[in-house]
Structure 1
Amino acid sequence: MARRRLSHEGTLVLDSEGLSRLLADDEAVVALVAEARSRGMEVVFCALTIIETVHARTNEARPNRVLSGLRTVPVGDEEAKAVSALLMRAGLHGRKYAVDAAVAETALRQHRPVVMLASDIDDMAKLCGDRVRLVPV
């Protein structure tokens, strides 16, 4: 992955793939997270991404250690309604898009500028529009 530059301040959001690669110690993602922190950016992830990220082969201690340094953004009733509305506006529906939409809604609520490490740029662009800078992982 080519080195990418991040904004000063604001928020870095990790989608499931970004979080998964951080947990796997992916050099490029670790470097981007470190750069974000050095620039004063908060690093966050949607609570639902844990569902897609942590699995039976995941070392239990690693997620606890890595996640403790990030802010987990919960998904409650209000957020779930906002996610549903976001899906409808984007013309998407179903479980295929549910977690991506929750991640997008999380990103849209963060302090700007917002940068997201995302594996599905096309779907995230439909969900976030131009309000979130998408960086492929």
Structure 2
Amino acid sequence: MKQIHARKIKDRITMLRPKLPIKNMYWEFHKNDDDYWPSVPHGHSLDGNYKLEIWSGNIYNLHTGKLEYKAKQKEMNKLQQYEDFQDFVSICREEYAKRNPSITIPELKIKRRRSSHRVEHKKVQEKYLFKISANRI
């Protein structure tokens, strides 16, 4: 079982620190962070110099606000599939909306596996290849 680094107050998670490096940095996600940029929630690098947008993987310099790096899609998928991460994000967004009703936050862009879609696509592709080879004979 994976160990999740989380700070709890009265059985409520207030901070999540996954044991998962993204761009060779470790990140911390705070539940009650009132800063909505670049996303709600967003990660703070443990060295304090960067912010991670959780859906796109954009990594911004905290001091200049400029885009510095882009995380690999594979790393971002692992983060989104990390144990309890989706629940933590949903709770953060709900509580942020309650605290800041005047700010509209964009909808979540959750990426789900499309294994059944891939199988259908592969079948169509095999049929297509078969038709081409049949036409050449």
TM over 0.5: no
RCO comparison, higher one (Cα < 8 Å, 6+):
1
TM-score normalised according to structure 2 size = 0.23
More strand, by proportion: 2
More helix, by proportion: 1
Structure 1 or 2, whichever has the larger Rg, is 2
